[in-house]
Amino acid sequence: MAKKHYFPLLLSISIFIFTGCSEPKTSSVTVDPQNDAKPAKEITLADDANIVTALTKLGAELKKNRDGLITEVNLIGTNASDADLEQLGLLSQLTSLRLNETNISETGMKDVGKLTNLVNLDLRGCSINNESMKALEGLSQLRALRLSGESGSTTVDDDGMASINKLTSLKALLLDHLWISEVGLTDLADLKNLEELYLAKTLIDDASLAVLTQHPKLKKLRISQTQISDAGLESLVALENLTDLDLSENSIISDLGMEHVGKITTLKRLNLWRVALSDFGVGKLAGLKEIDWLNLDNTSLSDTGLIHLQGMAKITFLHLGSTTITDAGLVHLEGLTTLKDLKVTRTAVTEEGVASLNKKLPTTEIQLKYLGNGQ
């Protein structure tokens, strides 16, 4: 009986030895390893033709990517209204929207707030208010937001800053001509990525400038036509990345304030148009070796003050219009070989003086004749 049990067992072992373990089943389809490594090509859906047609009829300027999809809609100065914004959400690649001086109101902002891919949004001159800013709180990718109260249509003020503070990806924020003060600026504390801030003709003062240190990456600052004084400028020295500063038309800034400005050695652009400066104040700027662009138009600069500009070896633009300089002072500019554009309009400089300087600086374009409109 035992032998009968051995035979089936030996037979099973023999089969295992000669056949081995069974291989897993594979597909009968042949696979090209090169093609298999490549991801499947995405199917690009075209923008709705009706939307494109409607925008074109409005007079919109459109920009498209390489796939032919709209990435920018520019409706500046058109008759666009709130109703025209409803379909913009169907433009899947839209990242830039410019609505300056259109009939867009708070109602339209609700549709704008749904465009979550937006990186750039320009609303200057639109009839919007603080409530409109709440509709934008979800635009987490927004890098630039431009508002302006110059026309009187935009009434955003300090109370709207809390909503803007939620746009933490912002790098550029324009708030010119709005009722923004130290209170509103304090509410922008979370904008740590901010690099450009425009506050011309707002309510900011010396205390407001101290708040700006909450934006450590700030590079460009426009604070023209405000209530800041010489003392307040000291706060700007702490902005270690500041390269562009506009102090134009600040009536209570004087030579004394240049003591602080002269310490911001990172500056490349400085606008001092219509600031009450004399040669003494300009002398405080002599250490700004990185300056590329300098506007001293409508100051009390004289030939003596030009001596202080000799060390600005990187300067390419210099505006000396409406100052008291003469031909005699131009000799101090002969070493500025990088200078490309020099304006000496409405001064005592003559054609002979210009010709003499051009011999030393043959590649410099020197403008003597005033063209109007500040040119």
The CA-atom distances, in angstroms, between 192 and each of 16, 172, 216 are: 71, 11, 7
Residue 46: what pLDDT?
78
Query: How does strand 70-74 pair with strand 61-64?
Result: antiparallel
Q: What is the pLDDT along the chain (375 residues), one digit of tens a residue?
A: 444 444 443 434 343 433 443 343 333 333 333 444 444 445 456 788 999 999 999 999 999 999 999 999 999 999 999 999 999 999 999 999 999 999 999 999 999 999 999 999 999 999 999 999 999 999 999 999 999 999 999 999 999 999 999 999 999 999 999 999 999 999 999 999 999 999 999 999 999 999 999 999 999 999 999 999 999 999 999 999 999 999 999 999 999 999 999 999 999 999 999 999 999 999 999 999 999 999 999 999 999 999 999 999 999 999 999 999 999 999 999 999 999 999 999 999 999 999 999 999 999 999 999 887 666
Around 172, how many Cα atoms within 13 Å sit in the side-chain half-sphere?
A: 11
Name, in order, each residue with C-beta under 8 angstroms of 278's C-beta and a sequence gap of 6 or more: 255, 299, 300, 301, 302, 305
- For 329, the token pair is 């002072």
Q: Are 193 and 171 in contact (CB under 8 A)?
A: yes
Alpha carbons 158 and 160: distance in angstroms, whole number:
5
DSSP state, residue 210: H
pLDDT at position 56: 94
| Cα separation, 218 vs 242, whole angstroms | 6
Residues near 22 by beta carbon (within 8 Å), at least 6 away in sequence: none
Predicted TM-score (pTM) of this structure: 0.86
Q: How far is CA 211 from CA 34, 184, 219, 232, 351, in A?
A: 58, 10, 15, 11, 48
Amino acid found at 304: T
Return the SS3 of 74. strand
pLDDT of residue 133: 98
Check: CB of residue 94 under 8 Å from CB of residue 116.
no
How far is the C-alpha of 194 from the C-alpha of 84, rounded, in Å? 31
| Three-state secondary structure call for residue 293 | strand
Q: Please choose, from the candidates 125, 75, 68, the residue with its C-alpha nearest in 3D space to the C-alpha of residue 96.
A: 75
pLDDT at 40: 44
User: Which of helix, strand or coil describes residue 62?
Assistant: strand
> What pLDDT score does 353 carry?
98
Q: HSE-up of 324 (CA within 13 Å, CB side)?
A: 10
- For each of the domains in the chain, give its residue range(s) and CATH number, in order of start: 48-201+211-216 (3.80.10.10)
CB atoms within 10 A of CB 331: 15
Q: 112 and 106 in contact (C-beta within 8 Å)?
A: no
